[in-house]
Amino acid sequence: MSVGEVAGLFGTLTTPWWIAGGYAIELFLGRAFRSHDDVDVLLLRRDQEKVHEVLRGWDIHAADPPGTLRPWPAGETLPESVHDIWCRERPDGPWRVQVMLDEAEGEEWVSRRDRRIRRPISSLGLRSPDGTPFLVPEVQLFYKARGARPKDEADRAAALPVLDRQARQWMDDALALTAPDHPWRAGLV
């Protein structure tokens, strides 16, 4: 699916949602620069039931730790240990959308990696010229820093030169708490 198709599905929501992953970096940059396997969407955990509303009739699975998928029926509240929901139009089809769940307390986003890392929900996203909401690059790169796979390195290399000082500082502060020796910190401040 394209980002536009996914945005069309989730665009009916009145609760916050954002395109995430590598597409968030591309929306920030205003250009495509690598291939993608699916479209990532970030929702707040408290809004998880919206997945079933938006993707009614789809084959939806929860990624239970340690990395197993199981059907996720409507009405079941996922435990805090489940952060990913995999979605496809039919059981024999390819996975099209990965929904990631993140925490919130009131109007504040709380990182699932470290509860000390927070920011107002209102500052978690930007909008593309066509109005598609996407996760701010510093938060997306913070999550990508953990694995630092080749695609994550490509996203960092593309976004870092255009991150403003405030975004770089936020990302450095977040990494200082969670991975003080992370090599990405050297290029941030």
Report if residue 51 sits inside a domain. Answer: yes
Q: Residue 15 has which token pair?
A: 């609760």
Whether 26 is covered by a domain: the verdict is yes
21-29 helix and 137-145 helix, angle to the nearest 10 degrees: 140
Determine, yes or no, domain membership for 20: yes
What CATH code is carried by the domain that includes residue 92?
A: 3.30.460
Q: Is 45 in contact with 105 (CB distance < 8 Å)? A: no
Q: Is residue 153 part of a domain?
A: no
DSSP conformation letters of 32-99: --S--SSEEEEEEGGGTTHHHHHTTTSEEEEEETTTEEEE--TTPPPPTT--EEEEESSTTSPP-EEE
The pTM for the full model equals 0.95
Write the pLDDT tens digit of every residue in 6-33: 999 999 999 999 999 999 999 999 999 9
Residue 34: give the domain boundaries: 3-136
C-alpha count within 13 angstroms, C-beta hemisphere, residue 144: 27
In a domain, 17, yes or no: yes
**Per the structure, how many domains does the chain have?**
1
- Residue 46 counted as domain residue: yes
- Is 177 inside a domain boundary? no
44 located within any domain: yes
Region 1-6 average pLDDT:
95
Give the pLDDT confidence of 107-141 residue by residue, as tens digits. Answer: 999 999 899 999 999 999 999 999 999 999 999 99
Q: What are the φ and ψ backbone dihedral angles of 46, each rounded to 5 degrees?
A: -65, -15
C-alpha 178: how far from its chain's center?
18
Q: Please give the mean pLDDT across all residues of the chain.
A: 95
